[in-house]
Chains A and B, each alone.
Chain A
Amino acid sequence: MLKTASRRENTISPLTNYVLNGGFIVLALACVLPVVLVIIVSFTHNDSLLSRGYSFFPAKWSLIAYESLFKDYGTILRAYGVSVGITAAGTVLSVLLMALYAYPISRQDYPLRPFFTFFLFFTMLFSGGIVSKYIVFTQGLGLLDNYLSLLLPLLIVPFNVIIMRTFFQTTIHPALIESARIDGAGELRIFVRIVLPLSLPVMATMALFSTILFWNDWFNALLFIRAEDKYPVQFLMIRVLNDIQYLRENVQLAAQNPEMMRNLPNESLQMAMAVVGMGPILIVYPFFQKYFVKGLTIGAVKG
């Protein structure tokens, strides 16, 4: 009787508390340890990798992977520049464009709302496939070897637009817009001065999504970029990994043409590339994180 009184209303028992905390600690470790292992392997000497495999406590450390990675620092730096540039420009543009699309279709009083919602939704159900995409970008728009070919395909993500629309619908009360209008604000002013400031959480979330999307994108580079000096850093990495994979699967071909094998990086170098590739996104993450507290929903009704 006394005991229960001393506890506050929503407290859980200490045991449950430990179990829950323990569970989350395990989860957290499961997320963090692989990353730590990648970092350690990137500093492991190739000898101990071959003899003992991956280990958190390698027998022999080595910086050689980073040395050989940065021996050709010009390429890496340039690729980094491309990635950072595309990501920065892409994020800003993407969030702006998606907000500009999401806001009108969130307004109940917009007559073309059903059309534009459907127009957006339709692209989620059907896509033209790679071939038509390739034709449009290379032959229609002539974007081969152009940075825009890395930017344009990812600017509007329909699903994210729907999340934003739902956010606008649920947080921005129509009365607010009504009163702003009565005070003499035009649509643009309402959007910029009232809607956007109130929507910071969703804007930040979308910015994070976009950042990750643009940073991780290598597929568009695979399709549209031919010039070595225009590759983003992720594509450089994925290409090295794919090349290794390819040669492993085509042992016979590789055996016939040893030249193909000569410059393949070993595993510590692959891991070093992964470390270099994930660096910036780890730094960006915390800046967005505080906005996640609120959470987002797309609601029960879609489309």
Chain B
Amino acid sequence: MDIKKKKRHIPALALVFAFASMLQACAGGSGNDKEASSPPASSAAPSSASASASAAPSESAAPSELAPYEVSIVYFGKPQPDDALVEAKLNAFFKEKINATVKLQPIASSDYKNRTELMMNTGEKMDLVFTASWLNFFGNVSKGAFVELDDLLAKYGQGIKDRLNPLYLEAPRMKGKLYAIPTNKEITQGKALTYRKDIVDKYQIPIDSINTMADLEPWMEKVKAGEPGIIPYYVAGGSGNFGGGFMMYETRGNYRPIGPAPAKTPMFLLDYKSSDEMKVKSVLDPEIADINKQEVGLFRSFYEKGYINADAATSTTTVNDLQKEGKIWVQAATWKPGADIEMKLATDSKYDYVSHVVEEPIVTTDLAAGSMFAISRTSKDPDRAMMVLNYLHTDPYVINLFVNGIEDKHYKKVGENRIEPVADSGYNPGTSWVVGNQLLNYLKPGQPDDLYTSWEKFNNDAKRFPLMGFVFDEANVKNEITQMTAVVTEYQSIFTGAVKNPEKLLDERNAKLKSAGIEKVQAELQKQIDAWRAENKK
């Protein structure tokens, strides 16, 4: 009886297994055929512009000597319907030059960090990978995710070296070795107060003499009285824009944030003008605490007078949305040449903006390492990856194909260096700040002709932060930083102005930070800075 029963169950089980193996089989099949379908190369010859790349030594290697290789490019960008068309065009170019093809792997902003870390952790094959200081670049370097680039750059990236400001190549280093190539764009950003221009004109506001938040006060009053429906200064505490924290050190002294910033709030500062000592101060320092108190007090008074939106503590509406509706008069923003036009374009071109820079632009490690490409440890041919990157930095045809798409399909050329994007064209990834050399991008409507020359000047003039090239290693104080992050998050809303008695809360917060171990972190930071200085003999 028993044996009989056993046998009779076999069909059901067999069915399950048969099914499973069938699924596997067809999975393998369709997976492979995707790989094989790389688009055919050899089509229209690249435009004459590509001649400018001739400086690169990679040219000397004839394409036939190189074995075919597919360079995957993982980058920060929303996938586009026409990605495949652009990829095919790029392939035609690279096939002819270096017998390579590329595989575009755009990943949308919110997924980028998680997905790339997963890919790194699982050892997936990648070649060029977009990375940045804010994407845990230095952590990934110490985990060994990226290849050292000094030799590769010298061999195959001569064009990059020629064009990139040398300061750039100081930033993405760990223990003196280079691990990423920054995108060539503006190397630093100043902080500015950006105003809606029509209101500035209407009230004849002397924006050049407004250098601190406190200077805004009389004009806040005027705008508030004269323009109902406009929020003079918008704060969205519910979404991470905690008004008071953004510019306080820039407008009140020479202190600039360094080191770890729990919950994105700077805790440690350095006076960048007295650089001989490099003495780290924390927010517990009486002088810094005083600056903090003045700023939160000012924001509180702004709030009480109605210059700040009433829901400042909890609002999550983005600044952009409100700007598009013309509901904001002034906003603290980052600045580079052309920032006002960028802002105008980003807010549907309904209003003009005008800025006054209140902070001298300074190059820090974080800013200079704000947008880069590294070569993954899993790359099978780092040489070729570097060659591709070199083209993206030197060849206007390639880089514009990448960021703007195909001529006459995704954009129309209206001048030698100027284009008009086609609306809803299927390719508008917004990656000009992500990849290659932005100074070779075609200009878009509204951008001035001299944009890139003024960027170059901006880069050349930028002041070097004394700690440029220094990277803090958090390993020894991880627990303290975690605790500090919790404290900072708890008290973050005191900077929105929407909470009563912010000065008292600030004291309370600082006491908690002290018991969370801020002094230990400060000591560690100082120790590492001293060691770094000794090493760099400064």
Contacts and interface: CB of A to CB of B under 8 A. Distances in A.
A243 B27 contact: no
B49 interface: no
Contact of A226 (B27, B105, B109): B105
Interface in A114-169: 130-131, 134-135, 138-139, 141-146, 148, 152
Contacts of A262: 345-346, 430
A131 B28 contact: no
Contact of B5 (A46, A109, A244): A109
B317 A50 contact: yes
Given A248-B318, A256-B370, A263 B240 contact: no
Contacts of B121: 131
B140 to A, nearest CB: 16
B134 interface: yes
Interface stretch (A5-13, A97-105, A202-210, A281-289): A97-105
Contacts of A248: 236, 239-241, 316, 318
Contacts of A239: 108, 110-111
Interface string A209-245: 0000000000000110011110000000001001111
Contacts of A257: 433
By CB atoms of chain B within 10 A, which of A107, A188, A228, A245 has the most?
A228
A247 B109 contact: yes
Contacts of B80: 228
Nearest to B333: A255
A109 B4 CA distance: 11
B109 A246 contact: yes
A187 interface: yes
A221 to B, nearest CB: 10
Contacts of B134: 250, 253
A47 interface: yes
For chain A, what secondary structure do more than half of its interface residues adopt (helix, strand, loop), or is it mixed? helix
Nearest to B31: A142
B170 interface: no
B240 A249 contact: yes
Contacts of B109: 243, 246-247, 260
Contacts of A72: 424
B23 interface: yes
B424 A71 contact: yes
B318 A244 contact: yes
Nearest to B5: A109
Nearest to B191: A255
Interface in A75-127: 75, 97, 100-101, 103-104, 107, 109-111
Interface string B7-25: 0110111011001000110
A130 B121 CA distance: 11
Nearest to A149: B27
B178 to A, nearest CB: 23
B493 interface: no
B110 A243 contact: yes
Given A239-B110, A239-B111, A259-B430, A148 B27 contact: yes
A223 B31 contact: no
Contacts of A130: 118
Interface string B425-443: 0001010110000000000
A186 B4 CA distance: 11
Interface string A259-288: 111111011000000000000000000000
B110 A50 contact: no
A66 interface: no
Interface stretch (B150-158, B208-216, B319-327, B404-412): B319-327
A97 B121 CA distance: 33
For chain B, what secondary structure do more than half of its interface residues adopt (helix, strand, loop), or is it mixed? helix
B60 interface: no
A251 interface: yes
Contacts of B345: 258, 262
A101 to B, nearest CB: 7
Contacts of A71: 424
Interface string B211-241: 0000000000000000001000000100111
A228 B83 contact: yes
Contacts of A142: 27-28, 31-32
A244 B109 CA distance: 9
A252 B334 contact: yes
Contacts of B27: 141-143, 146, 148, 152
A259 B31 contact: no
Contacts of B320: 254, 261, 264
B317 to A, nearest CB: 7
A143 B24 CA distance: 9
B533 interface: no
Interface string B116-132: 00100110100000000
Contact of A97 (B16, B30, B322, B325): B16
Contacts of A47: 325
A252 B265 CA distance: 12
Contacts of A247: 109, 318
A129 to B, nearest CB: 11
A191 interface: yes
B12 A255 contact: no
Contact of A250 (B23, B81, B240, B343): B240
A245 B5 CA distance: 58
Given A97-B16, A242-B110, A250-B240, A141 B2 contact: no
10 contacts: A138-B122, A142-B27, A148-B30, A187-B9, A188-B11, A188-B12, A222-B111, A256-B433, A259-B346, A259-B433
Interface of A: 46-47, 50-51, 71-72, 74-75, 97, 100-101, 103-104, 107, 109-111, 130-131, 134-135, 138-139, 141-146, 148, 152, 186-188, 191, 222-223, 226-229, 239, 242-264, 266-267
Given A228-B81, A251-B319, 16 more contacts: A50-B325, A74-B81, A100-B15, A104-B9, A104-B13, A107-B9, A141-B28, A145-B34, A226-B105, A242-B108, A243-B109, A243-B110, A245-B110, A259-B342, A264-B318, A266-B321
Closest 6 CB pairs of A and B: A242-B110, A142-B31, A248-B239, A258-B346, A187-B8, A246-B110
